[in-house]
Amino acid sequence: MRRWITLAVGVVLVLVGAVWVLQGIGVVTGSFMTGQKLWFLIGLAAFLVGVVLVAANLTRRKPTS
């Protein structure tokens, strides 16, 4: 169960981080975050943490029972 939760959190962080990065660089408009360097950096951090969580989850072996 913990693996699924970690994977879900990782995927959500990747998706949200990507949106925040795009807003931070001005690709996605219509928000107070548009064109703000701070949201680019926050989004980049969230994206990278999500990638690490997903990668760690996918490379972890199943425990033998």
When pLDDT is cut at 50, 70 and 90, the band that residue 2 belongs to is confident
Q: What is the pLDDT of residue 44?
A: 97
Domains of the chain by residue range: 2-59
CA distance 35 to 49: 22
H or E element at residue 31: none
- Tell me if the pTM is above 0.75: yes
**Digit-coded pLDDT (tens) for 5-60:** 999 999 999 999 999 999 999 998 888 989 999 999 999 999 999 999 999 998 87
Q: What is the pLDDT of residue 25?
A: 94
In this structure, are residues 38 and 24 in contact, taking their beta carbons and an 8 Å threshold? yes
In this structure, are residues 1 and 24 in contact, taking their beta carbons and an 8 Å threshold? no
Query: In the chain, which residue ranges form alpha helices assigned H by DSSP?
Result: 2-24, 37-59
